[in-house]
Amino acid sequence: MPAPPQQAAPPLLVVMGVSGSGKSTVGAALAQRLGVPFADADDLHPAANIAKMSAGQALTDEDRRPWLDTIGAWLAAHDERGGVMSCSALKRGYRDQLRRHAPRLQLLHLDGSPEVIQRRQASRPGHFMPASLLASQFATLEPLADDEHGVVLDVGLSVDAIVDQFVSQPVAPEENA
């Protein structure tokens, strides 16, 4: 008897990028399109991290380490069902930490110029993240390496276009494994 067709695993995705790159907006729209739960890593920061950023101080690796484990636990818990998390995930080491919890994790990096992102941040009053921290976000950012399972899309596209481009990508063989 022929083997039954293999079902693609539901996407398990982190939408990454600097503050103001559109992670929350695109992440929520993508989760809706994909029919999987969405969570925003900003809601998982300990109060001390939010207080620090609100005061204009960039987070350190030590500040981010336990927060990344909390995000990793969410991803691991959603491995079967799939899910989308918006999370800055700026450094390769941070993404490695997330992949230790969820090895099949896929990434979508929302990439764009500091000018465009700064404009977006400025038009979003009331957010805890001060615009002054954008330079440190870019300085910390390590783009996806060739051996990381992910794609880069331009924040200059509309939210709908980003979602369309992401869902129309060819499925990588390992996702059907």
Ligand X SMILES: Nc1ncnc2c1ncn2[C@@H]1O[C@H](COP(=O)(O)OP(=O)(O)OP(=O)(O)O)[C@@H](O)[C@H]1O
Ligand Y SMILES: O=C(O)[C@H](O)[C@@H](O)[C@H](O)[C@H](O)CO
DSSP SS3 for 13: strand
Residue nearer to ligand Y on the CB measure, 42 or 111: 42
Examine residue 86 and tell whether it contacts ligand X (CB under 6 A).
yes
Give the span between the Cα atoms of 77 and 96, in whole angstroms. Answer: 17
Examine residue 49 and tell whether it contacts ligand X (CB under 6 A).
no
Give the span between the Cα atoms of 90 and 71, in whole angstroms. Answer: 14
Residue 59 vs residues 14, 81, 124: alpha-carbon distances, Å: 19, 31, 21
Supply the minimum distance, in Å, between the C-beta of residue 18 and ligand Y: 6
**Position closest to ligand X via CB:** 22
Residue nearer to ligand Y on the CB measure, 42 or 83: 42
Examine residue 124 and tell whether it contacts ligand X (CB under 6 A).
yes
Give the span between the Cα atoms of 166 and 149, in whole angstroms. Answer: 13
**Residue 158 binds which entry of ligand X, ligand Y, none, CB below 5-8 Å type-dependent:** ligand X
Examine residue 42 and tell whether it contacts ligand X (CB under 6 A).
yes
Beta strands in 35-167 (DSSP E): 38-40, 83-86, 106-111, 150-154
Residue nearer to ligand X on the CB measure, 6 or 158: 158
Residue nearer to ligand X on the CB measure, 28 or 36: 28
